[in-house]
Amino acid sequence: MINLVLFGPPGAGKGTQSEKLIKKYGFVHISTGDLFRWHTKNDTPLGKRVKEIMNSGALVPDEITIAMLKEELDKNPKAKGFLFDGFPRTVPQAEALDKFMKDNNSAIHYVIALEVTEAEVRARIAKRRTVENRADDEEEKLNKRITEYFTKTIHVLPYYEKQKRLNTVHGIGDIEEIFENICKVIDQQ
């Protein structure tokens, strides 16, 4: 069983690469962003709590996020392997994830960080916005998400680096080539 964290800023291509990885390796995909969107769309009690926070582009508090993640893990006791996408976004989340894995006699085997500069993600998102013709408030929200990544989430990288679990893959260029480079990391075992 291989468990993987795919890490990177908004617009880094995590969604695109996740899809390809799931197809190839059969991971159970756990995207905290998707889970939160499901809750807000279905207006669950959790959805009601996080809706405004998400709309502002800010991070949902760790306590809520970690509880939701634990629930999701417990739903999949027989998973062949997990691909975590959008989690962990803070050091306490990374610590909680390690604990959950350990409690299940497992571990996070690979952390793959898609390396994309802030300028590149801003350019990609600006381009996507003109194509999709998004509203102005959407622009503010995206800016906030990028800022949250480069001020808060980036601190998760040294956590994994210290434990020698961090693998960096250059995230700019051909999608297939980036995918191959991710697969090389996974297949190196």
Question: Which of the residues are catalytic?
Answer: 14, 89, 128, 134, 145
* Nearer residue to ligand ADP within complex by CB, 135 or 187: 135
Joined together, the tokens standing for residue 187 give: 């297949």
Q: Residues 59 to 118: which contact ligand ADP by CB under 6 A?
A: 59-60, 65, 86-87, 89, 93
* Nearer residue to ligand ADP within complex by CB, 156 or 182: 156
Joined together, the tokens standing for residue 81 give: 């392997």
Q: Residues 145 to 164: which contact ligand ADP by CB under 6 A?
A: 145
Joined together, the tokens standing for residue 80 give: 């062949």
By CB under 6 A, residue 10 contacts ligand ADP = yes
DSSP string, 22-81: HHHH-PEEEEHHHHHHHHHHTT-HHHHHHHHHHHHTPPPPHHHHHHHHHHHHHH-TT-S-
By CB under 6 A, residue 32 contacts ligand ADP = yes
Contact between residue 79 and residue 30 where contact means Cβ atoms under 8 Å apart: no
Joined together, the tokens standing for residue 69 give: 């993640």
Q: Is the dihedral of CA 171, 17, 61, 59 positive or negative?
A: positive
Taking alpha carbons only, the member of 63, 171, 74 closest to residue 113 is 171
Query: Shortest Cβ contact with ligand ADP: which residue?
Result: 33
* Nearer residue to ligand ADP within complex by CB, 75 or 188: 75
Q: Which span sits near ligand ADP by CB under 6 A: 55-63, 114-122, 156-164, 170-178?
A: 55-63
DSSP secondary structure letter of residue 154: G
By CB under 6 A, residue 40 contacts ligand ADP = no
Counting residues that bind ligand ADP (by CB under 6 A) gives 16
* Nearer residue to ligand ADP within complex by CB, 2 or 53: 53
Which chain residues interact with ligand ADP by CB under 6 A?
10, 32-33, 36, 53-54, 57-60, 65, 86-87, 89, 93, 145
